């Protein structure tokens, strides 16, 4: 509370972290501790009128934790913090690479993005306050997915920490290009939560991916990654491009391996 009082009026708001994936049970599994969440917000909410963003980490109870946070006065939910504890081992020494006593540590980066996205999607259905998506975002495509799932804003850490602030400009540019290609959208606000009503029934289909002749560089990554020999390189207009063969089963693995800076292979699901 003393820290909140000291900073009150000197900042635009507070992001309060209620999770600790690095140490997990050593610090009481804060991301599962409803009593801690309530006591924390009951203590700091009366101290400031500034916005309080409650940052949570994935757990089987993250939606319930978000709802409790809203009841206790949080102005927004941020999800997800790093997930874990997880472990990596140095094969040369046998020693754990990360973490504290016990060899564990929080997992961040692209590996947690699908989990973070699901958290945002589910939390948005459970609370009326804004949701901020975070966790493994490394491209404009993933920022857009977060907003479609219901995030009013997104946060990034791992990629900018590794590659520097240029990442923010790249993602802003990607968002601008996305909107420019879709004139029926008046702005980013049009896509926030748009996926919330699209998963109402079981859906499984395998659309054949689409390769953009304009964007394809003929790098061949998709060809070497296809387990079904369903993509080939072919000369087109004097250039080598990837081509989908008739035996494609629509697994869309090639979509995932195409470098994001090219984004030359997409599914048929488009806005």
- Return the structure tokens found at 63: 């939606």
Report the distance separating Cα 143 and Cα 126, nearest Å.
21
**CB-based contact 4:44 (threshold 8 Å):** yes
- Choosing from 20, 119, 226, 258, the catalytic residue is 20
- Return the structure tokens found at 261: 């800076």
Catalytic residue check, 119: no
**CB-based contact 115:135 (threshold 8 Å):** yes
**CB-based contact 253:227 (threshold 8 Å):** yes
- Angle at Cα 135 formed by Cα 212 and Cα 163, nearest 5°? 70
- On the CB side of 260, how many CA atoms lie within 13 Å of its CA? 12
**CB-based contact 145:175 (threshold 8 Å):** no
Report the distance separating Cα 69 and Cα 31, nearest Å.
12
Between the alpha carbon of residue 268 and those of residues 144, 161, 182, 250, 261, the distances in Å are 17, 34, 16, 10, 19
Order across the sheet with 153-155: list the strands: 14-17, 52-56, 76-79, 131-134, 153-155
**Kind of pairing, strands 265-266 and 210-211?**
antiparallel
Report the distance separating Cα 211 and Cα 220, nearest Å.
12
| Catalytic residue annotation | 20
């Amino acid at each position: 509370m003393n820290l909140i009082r000291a900073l009150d009026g000197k900042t635009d708001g507070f992001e309060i972290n209620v999770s600790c994936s690095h140490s997990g049970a050593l610090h009481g599994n804060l991301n599962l501790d409803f009593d801690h969440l309530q006591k924390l917000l009951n203590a700091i909410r009366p101290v400031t009128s500034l916005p309080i963003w409650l940052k949570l980490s994935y757990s089987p109870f993250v939606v319930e934790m978000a709802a409790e946070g809203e009841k206790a006065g949080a102005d927004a939910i941020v999800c997800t913090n790093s997930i874990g504890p997880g472990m990596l081992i140095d094969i040369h020494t046998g020693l754990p690479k990360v973490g504290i006593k016990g060899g564990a540590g929080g997992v961040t980066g692209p590996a947690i993005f699908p989990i973070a996205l699901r958290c945002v999607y589910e939390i948005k259905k459970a609370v009326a306050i804004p949701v901020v998506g975070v966790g493994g975002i490394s491209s404009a495509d993933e920022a857009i997915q977060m907003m479609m799932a219901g995030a009013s804003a997104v946060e990034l850490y791992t990629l900018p920490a590794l590659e520097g602030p240029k990442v923010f400009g790249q993602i802003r540019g990607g968002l601008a290009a996305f909107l420019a290609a879709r004139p029926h959208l008046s702005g980013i606000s049009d896509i926030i939560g748009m996926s919330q009503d699209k998963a109402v029934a079981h859906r499984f289909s395998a659309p054949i991916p689409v390769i953009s002749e304009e964007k394809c560089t003929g790098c061949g990554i998709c060809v070497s990654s296809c387990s079904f020999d369903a993509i080939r390189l072919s000369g087109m207009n004097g250039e080598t491009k990837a081509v989908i063969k008739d035996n494609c089963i629509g697994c869309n693995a090639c979509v995932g391996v195409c470098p994001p800076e090219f984004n030359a292979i997409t599914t048929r699901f488009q806005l």
